[in-house]
Structures are given as C-alpha cells and as structure tokens.
Structure 1
Amino acid sequence: FAMLSIVALAACLTSAAAAQAVPYYDPRLTGGSMLTLQNEPLNMIISGLSSPDVLTIRGIVNFGNALGYGDDCLGIHLGGPQAANLGDGNGLVNQTQMMREDYGNTPIGTCLETLMGGNHYRVFPQNGSKANSGALFLAASKEDPITEQHNIVPNGYDIGRDQVVSDATGGIVSFSGVDYTTTVEYVSGLLTPGAEGINHNISIDGRTAILTVTASTVNSGLDCKGSSLCGTLNVASCDAARDKLVPTTIYRTDG
C-alpha cells in the first residue's frame, strides 16, 4: 500500500509539472493585454517550452547577441521604458531588457542603431503567480534614425517582428559557446489586425510569432561564457578545460 501511495504521489507531481509546461498564457484572459501601456504590440513570444537557460535575462541577452542584437548603447537607454501587463498577477511591469540591432559590432554597434535607426525589441517576462508560463513577450519594431525622433517606420511593427524571426530561424546561430536552434509558429487572434489603438496609428497584420528556442553548448561548453549553461559542465568537460590551460610565469618589474 505504501509503495502504491508513493507511485500515486509521483504520478500527481509529474502531472502537475507537465500541466505547468505551456508555451504561454493569453494575458487577456486574466486582465492583461497584448499591447504595452504605450500601445505597442507584443508581436513575438519566446515560448515557455524553450530551453530554460534562454528564458532568463542573461540567456535572452546571449540569444540576442547570437542574432545580432545587443544591449542599449553603452548600457544607456535614452528613451523611457515601456510597461506591460501580461495577466500574470504582477500588474504593469517595465520592460526587463531592450535589445537593439548591433550592425555586426556587439559592444558598440547598438550606438549606431541609436543614431541610424534599425530593429529593436523590448522584453517582458510572464512569471507571476497567476500565469507563470516563463515565456518572454517581445515588442519588436523597426525605427527611424534619431534625426526622425526614432519614430516607427511605416509597417514597422510587422517588419521588426519578421526581421527577428528571419534572424532566428535561418539556421543555427551561436554566441559565447552556445548554439541556438529556433522554430516558429504564427498565431492569429491574440492581436487585432489594423491600426486602431496602435501607437503611431501603424497598421499590423495581427499575427504573433511564437518562437521555441533550443540551446546547447558548443565544444562541450569549453568556450562557454554567456549562459547559465556554463555552470552545468560535467567532470569530463572540466578536465578537458583544465588540459587547455597553458603554464605562465609572471615577472614583476616594480622591484
């Protein structure tokens, strides 16, 4: 009887864990919105079924780096952050990350995006107790240069979304020792097509791109720098990394 109880308990726990594994929860069903407070569409979702390491701030930044996006210019965000209510019980929450097109130069290329315009996306995690999918909701768009006050280009929300999708699904992308493989599914019905209620009165096609991202270390993680995957190396990998160390002698010249 005791053994049966243990088996039943394990089955319940497994069932509960499986029930929590969802791509995302529709924010509108629990008082949230698929628009930011500033009425920009949340037109992309990094699915909660993605590798867990992708669904952290550190992980989404590394994934963005692999796609050719980086943090704000020198870490300075010149515009105000946007906020979103994802219906997870956290209410309105400011974006946790802004990623800008880096023009091929991860450290400073986003400064060019600030000046010249280009693609960017804002990141909002759905992690409150009412709807804890772990998914990341993204508001992607393409903007004008700073001389045009960074306005969104015509059709800029759909263009911004489609560019990120293209960057992510064109094949394996890598950064800091992590490979990423991404699949996409487009969902209709979360956003209403048209321009009504959309910031800058820019029309959208109403489609939301659901990205499922799988991450894996490269070369057993020996070159891994930018992901929490780095902390999961097995003993063999650590031994291999140690074997790569080169003995070095340091001489002091200050007497």
Structure 2
Amino acid sequence: MAKKHTAKELERFIELYLDGVPFRELRSEYGLRISPGTFNMHFLNYKAYGASALEDRDGFNTYTNEFKEKVVKEFLESKTYLTAITRKYKIPSITTVRNWIIKYTNGEATKAYYPKPEVYTMKYRKTSHEERILIVKDCIRNQLNYKQTAQKYNISYNLVYQWVKKYQKYGPDGLIDSRGKRKPDNIQTETERIRAEMAILKARNEYLETENAALKKLQEVESELMFARRDLKRNIKRLKN
C-alpha cells in the first residue's frame, strides 16, 4: 500500500497545480499518488480553509447523532452539493456523509461514530451469520472501503477483507462460522455468483463515475487558471506600454 502524502506534500502539489502544472503531470512527473476525486477534495478544502485543512484527521473525529442529523437535513432541504456540505463541516470523506444520508432516508437510527485507528489489530468479537452478511454488503456499497467498514462495526480489517472474499466465492454460505467444522463444499450457484459480481461491479462503477466527474472538474479548473494567467499577462503588457 502506498504511503499517504503528508500535509506539506499535499500543499506543495496544490501550489504546483495553481502554478499551472496539470493534474496528470503531477502524477506522472512529481509523484502524486492520489485519485482525481481525492485531489479535488484537498484542493477545494485548501482554497476554503488554507493549509490547516490538509492535516490528516482520520481516526480522530467524533460525530454525535445531533451533528449527523443536522448535516443530513441541511443537505436534503437545500440545493447544496454534497462536496460543499463536506467542506463546510470539514468532514474528511464524502462517503461518510453519503452513508449518513442513506441511513437517514431508510429510517435507520444513526449511531454516534467514534473511528478507531487500531482496526488492523482489533481483537476478535463474535458476530452472527446475518451480521456478517450485513457487514459485507455494507462494505460493497461503500466501494470496498475495508478500513471504514472495520471502524464502523468495531471489527478487524482482516476479517472484513476475508468475509468479502468468501462472499464473492461462496455467496452467503461462505460466511457461516465454520471454526472446527469442515469448509462448505458447495460453491454458490452461477446465479448467486453473478449477483455477487454485479454488486462488486456496481460499487466499482459508482466509484469510477465519481472519479471521472472529479477529473472533469479538475480539467475545468485548469482551463480557468490558464485563461486567468493569459489575461494577467495581457494586463501587465498593457501597463508596460
């Protein structure tokens, strides 16, 4: 897994971008290792709040029920974009707010969320077959974000990863607790396998659509910056004449 960029590195990339270096060149020539969507979010946060918005706060945010309900209602009752809401309340991930909205609109009670950075070493806790299916489906809907799913359900990263893989291969039967028992002989039927693969593809397509939209937005910003620099040069030239 690639190492995350520090706040100083992100600030340098954004300054280069503002100086006219295209996003694609930042990745190919300068070592940027994040997606268009992530870069766009950092870029917008930087413009709105400055360098302090680039500090890594993952794992240290606490969201109360009241706060989550306030954010969701503001989004639903206004024409504000999800990215704008996320920036306004300095929430690190759009996915976090999207999950709140899904739960709220489905009538599910929102629970206070306390992210835990120790998801990779978390102790095992007992789960039912139904809960494992729920966790796997939630992970798939969340674009296979294993870490966030592990934090949300207070289980280890490795367990979420293993359950998703078993679900892909065996379907729901693969999530039956088989400790001390023989592994299930029956691989899921062709129909079940196709449904599982379609769920994975759907999550992946939603992710790609978001990334493509972000890349298009970055290209629009690059064009605006190019025209602004050209106008500035013209104005300077006029002042000299």
> What range describes the TM-score normalised by the shorter chain of this pair?
under 0.3
Q: Which has the higher helix share?
A: 2
- TM-score, normalisation: structure 2: 0.23
- TM-score, normalisation: structure 1: 0.23
